Each structure stands twice: as structure tokens, then as C-alpha cells.
């Protein structure tokens, strides 16, 4: 199957209320996006699925929600004030700036000028976003977090002291991060404000055991995407070479997704060694061995927006007569939709409302009573709803409904008494 063109998805997302350009009525704001009713639902489902696997299903991981703005000393200690940089070049013709390490972007820009390309030497550019705090002058400078990770480290000792958890253990977090990206683009792939889902897993500083856990984490994370419906052939690992690793990383592997604009990073898995805890002067005391040491940290970090984009691209299918968003039942904004055949027949509407009320206790359920049934099916197909349930005149006689499947368009009659069981069975299959 060919890869989904980004433009097709951008248009669907706007038209159906997944994602809108930020501040659009004021001409937009580059690198910022707003999530509409369906986008919010998709992101929430994605975060729930991640939390379930990474926290709820495990005994060795606890959650955290740290502040976005922290004492600026955190960023000095973590090395981000010095090293959170991208190399940047400026076009001498028009003074626009681009990442020096993105040759396709540079070539694309060069083609917009008649003159031969002319770039400045690459200069380091810090990605942290500054904010000014204080009601009176002089205001004090702080930073919006450039990664959610540091909030975990500054709370490491609190978590150890206030829970019964012992190494090896992890702290998981989901939250917003901000980066002064030089070339935001490819829709939500690279934006200035985005959300991350991260696990920081603390292990003893053992150079033979830690790389093995690192390898296990990679396999677990890849598996998570495949179980949620991403095509395995669209995913791959890419190991970072020493010269491209972030300042904190001893080992780094990306999980990449195959987009129509190339293989792109979806998730970073990093062996951060003792970089962070030692820079924050934090240690761990093992109550059993009585040893005190600085643990190693193994990290998995994925952007919610980027992963949502990849799940959408992967799910998008254009057939001869319709668009289908083949989202996994865990992720689809709605799992089922209920339709009264005709909206001007009160007995149909009343029964359909009763069906909807029964289903909504079990499934994310939409209601649609506009237009003909065929159009309603198509409208639900392109937002990913798995089953359409039609209440018609036969329903009033024999208490059965038509259940129509999104991907196959197959229709079956199911009795109202068995509908919840039938759907549960389908979602488990």
C-alpha cells in the first residue's frame, strides 16, 4: 500500500475536527496546532493506552506530574543551557534560518531563489524557550521545559522516600514540552509546543546488565506500536552514532516510522547513564545491601502529537469511493455510532436513543441522524468509528439491529439483547 500523502491527512484533520492550525483566525502561528473534538479524543486514548502499558500494568513503575516551569538551576545542572542546541544556518539572500542537519529542507529552500545558494557558517542555537516571571520589574528569567524528563529527576528522592519502590523501578510522566525549533513543519511532526510520554527507568550502574535492559525496552516499545495497529513494516530501529547522540546519552536508538516524507523518529530510547542524577547530586541508598550509588537511567520518550500523527497516517486509506481511517479500537475517537433510520419517526428515534444509552456505558458511542444511511456510514468511516448500528422498522418488530463493520462494510443483524456481548467480542478479536 502506498504511503499516505501528508496533505490528504491535513485536509481530513481540519475538515473533521481532529487538528486545526493554531490561531487560524489571526493568520495562524507557525509551529502551533489546536486539537478539535476528535483530535482530543484520539490523543486521550493514545495517552491512556500508553499509561496502561507503562504504569498500570506494571508493579515497578509509578507516575508523576511535575511543573512545566522549574527553577532555572535545574537546566544549568542538566546541561541544557549549554548543550540543548541545534546547528543553524542562515540564507544570505533572505535571512531565513534552517537546521544545518536537514539537507532536504536546505535544498528545497535553495530552489526558491534564482541566485546560487549562499549560507552562513552553522551556529549553535539553544532550543529552550525563555519566559519572564514576576509581577514587578525586574522580572526573572525562567524556561518552559524543553523535555519533561528533568521533572522526574528533581523528584527522584521524593518518590523514593514517599513510596515503597526499590531499584530497579521507573517513573512515568506525560506532559507538555516546548522547543524553539528552527524549522517547525510537516504538520504536527515538529512543533514548538508538544506533549511527551516518558519512562525513566532507574537501574544499578552495572555496565553489563544495563545495556541488556536497554535492549528489552526497545523490543517492548516496538511491540506496543504494533499491538495498537501500526504496520510492522512501517517501523524500524535506528541506532545513533556517537557523534549524533544527545549530550546525556551513552546509547540511543530511535523507533522510526516510514512516512511519505521519509523515515522519521517517533520515539527515542536512551541510556542516560548517571549523567542526570550525578549532575543533580542525587544518589540512591539500597536498604538491603546498604550500598549507596548513583543509578543509571534508561529512558523511553515519545511525542504524543508525533505518535498520533503516525497512527493517523498509518490508518488512512483511500478506496475507490470512500476514505477509511482504520484506527485500532483502543484509539478510535468513537468505537460505535448509532443511527435511527429516519429522524422524523419518533418511534425510531426513541429506540435508537435507548440503544445509544445502553452502548455508551460500554463503548465510546456517537449519534448521527442526518442524511441517508450510506452517507452516515461514510462519515463515520473517515473518522475511524468501527461499527455503525442502524435502528430501522424491523427493530421495532423483532428487536434486532443492523451492525455494519467499518473495514469490510459487512452487515449482520444482531439482537438488542446480545449487542453489547457481540461488540465486546469483536473488539477482543
Q: Binding residues for ligand ATP, per CB under 6 A?
A: 147, 179, 181, 190-191, 194, 196, 265-268, 301-303, 305-306
At its nearest, how many Å lie between ligand ATP and the CB of residue 35?
13
Question: What does DSSP say about strands 365-367 and 336-340: parallel, antiparallel, or unpaired?
Answer: parallel
Judge if the upstream peptide bond of residue 4 is cis by omega within 30 degrees of 0.
no
Kindly tell me which of 190 and 356 has the beta carbon lying closer to ligand ATP.
Answer: 190
Kindly tell me which of 145 and 306 has the beta carbon lying closer to ligand ATP.
Answer: 306
Among the listed residues 24, 26, 78, 27, the one whose alpha carbon sits nearest the alpha carbon of residue 299: 78
Kindly tell me which of 150 and 380 has the beta carbon lying closer to ligand ATP.
Answer: 150
Spatial CB neighbours of 412, under 8 Å, sequence gap ≥ 6: 402, 403
Contact 32, 20 (CB under 8 A): no
At its nearest, how many Å lie between ligand ATP and the CB of residue 280?
18
- Which H or E run contains 148? none
Spatial CB neighbours of 26, under 8 Å, sequence gap ≥ 6: none
Residue 278 φ then ψ, to 5°: -70, -35
Kindly tell me which of 265 and 274 has the beta carbon lying closer to ligand ATP.
Answer: 265
Kindly tell me which of 86 and 368 has the beta carbon lying closer to ligand ATP.
Answer: 86
Which residue number is nearest to ligand ATP in terms of Cβ?
A: 303
At its nearest, how many Å lie between ligand ATP and the CB of residue 291?
31
Kindly tell me which of 150 and 301 has the beta carbon lying closer to ligand ATP.
Answer: 301
Contact 307, 266 (CB under 8 A): yes
For the chain, what is the radius of gyration of the CA atoms? 25
At its nearest, how many Å lie between ligand ATP and the CB of residue 270?
7
At its nearest, how many Å lie between ligand ATP and the CB of residue 294?
22
Among the listed residues 65, 66, 62, the one whose alpha carbon sits nearest the alpha carbon of residue 163: 62
Kindly tell me which of 305 and 381 has the beta carbon lying closer to ligand ATP.
Answer: 305
At its nearest, how many Å lie between ligand ATP and the CB of residue 190?
4
At its nearest, how many Å lie between ligand ATP and the CB of residue 181?
5
Residue 420 is placed in which grid cell?
A: 453489547
d(CA 250, CA 356): 53
d(CA 160, CA 156): 6
Kindly tell me which of 51 and 367 has the beta carbon lying closer to ligand ATP.
Answer: 51
Cα–Cα separations (whole angstroms), residue 334 to 40, 48, 401, 402: 12, 15, 19, 18
Cα torsion 272, 277, 280, 281: sign: negative
d(CA 309, CA 374): 28
Lateral strand order in the sheet of 387-391: 365-367, 336-340, 387-391, 400-405, 411-415
Kindly tell me which of 270 and 404 has the beta carbon lying closer to ligand ATP.
Answer: 270
At its nearest, how many Å lie between ligand ATP and the CB of residue 250?
14
At its nearest, how many Å lie between ligand ATP and the CB of residue 192?
7
d(CA 362, CA 331): 15
Amino acid at each position: 500500500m502506498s504511503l499516505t500523502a501528508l496533505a490528504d491527512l491535513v485536509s481530513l484533520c481540519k475538515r473533521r475536527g481532529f487538528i486545526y492550525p493554531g490561531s487560524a483566525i489571526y493568520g495562524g502561528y507557525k509551529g502551533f496546532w489546536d486539537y478539535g473534538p476528535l483530535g482530543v479524543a484520539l490523543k486521550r486514548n493514545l495517552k491512556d493506552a500508553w499509561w496502561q502499558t507503562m504504569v498500570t500494568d506494571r508493579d515497578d513503575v509509578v507516575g508523576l506530574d511535575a511543573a512545566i516551569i522549574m527553577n532555572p538551576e535545574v537546566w544549568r545542572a542538566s546541561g541544557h543551557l549549554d548543550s540543548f542546541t541545534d546547528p543553524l544556518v542562515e540564507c544570505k539572500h533572505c535571512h531565513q534560518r534552517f537546521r544545518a542537519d536537514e539537507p532536504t529542507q536546505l535544498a528545497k529552500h535553495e530552489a526558491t531563489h534564482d541566485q546560487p545558494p549562499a549560507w552562513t557558517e552553522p551556529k549553535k542555537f539553544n532550543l529552550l524557550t525563555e519566559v519572564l516571571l514576576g509581577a514587578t520589574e525586574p522580572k526573572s528569567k525562567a524556561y518552559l521545559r524543553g523535555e519533561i524528563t528533568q521533572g522526574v529527576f528533581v523528584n527522584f528522592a521524593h518518590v523514593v522516600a514517599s513510596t515503597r519502590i526499590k531499584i530497579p523501578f521507573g517513573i512515568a510522566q506525560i506532559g507538555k514540552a516546548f522547543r524553539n525549533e528552527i524549522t517547525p513543519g510537516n504538520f504536527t511532526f515538529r512543533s514548538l509546543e508538544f506533549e511527551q510520554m516518558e519512562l525513566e527507568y532507574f537501574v544499578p550502574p552495572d555496565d553489563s546488565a544495563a545495556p541488556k535492559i536497554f535492549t528489552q525496552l526497545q523490543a517492548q516499545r516496538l511491540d506496543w506500536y504494533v499491538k495498537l495497529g501500526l504496520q510492522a513494516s512501517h517501523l524500524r530501529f535506528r541506532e545513533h552514532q556517537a557523534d549524533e547522540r544527545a549530550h546525556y546519552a551513552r546509547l540511543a536508538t530511535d523507533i522510526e516510522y516510514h512516512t511519505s516524507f521519509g523515515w522519521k523518529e517517533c520515539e527515542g530510547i536512551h541510556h542516560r547513564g548517571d549523567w542526570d542524577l550525578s549532575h543533580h547530586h542525587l544518589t540512591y541508598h539500597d536498604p538491603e545491601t546498604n550500598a549507596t550509588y548513583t543509578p543509571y537511567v534508561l529512558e523511553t520518550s515519545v511525542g504524543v502529537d508525533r505518535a498520533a500523527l503516525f497512527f493517523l497516517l498509518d490508518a488512512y486509506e483511500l478506496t475507490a469511493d470512500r476514505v477509511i481511517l482504520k484506527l485500532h479500537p483502543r484509539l478510535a475517537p468513537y468505537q460505535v455510532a448509532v443511527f435511527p433510520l429516519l429522524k422524523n419517526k419518533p418511534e425510531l428515534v426513541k429506540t435508537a436513543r435507548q440503544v445509544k444509552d445502553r452502548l455508551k456505558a460500554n463503548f465510546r458511542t456517537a449519534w448521527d441522524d442526518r442524511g441517508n444511511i450510506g452517507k452516515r456510514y461514510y462519515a463515520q468511516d473517515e473518522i475511524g468509528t468501527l461499527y455503525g448500528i442502524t435502528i430501522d422498522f424491523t427493530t421495532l418488530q423483532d428487536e434486532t439491529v443492523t451492525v455494519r463493520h467499518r473495514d469490510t462494510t459487512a452487515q449482520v443483524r444482531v439482537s438488542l439483547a446480545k449487542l453489547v456481548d457481540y461488540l465486546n467480542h469483536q473488539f477482543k478479536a
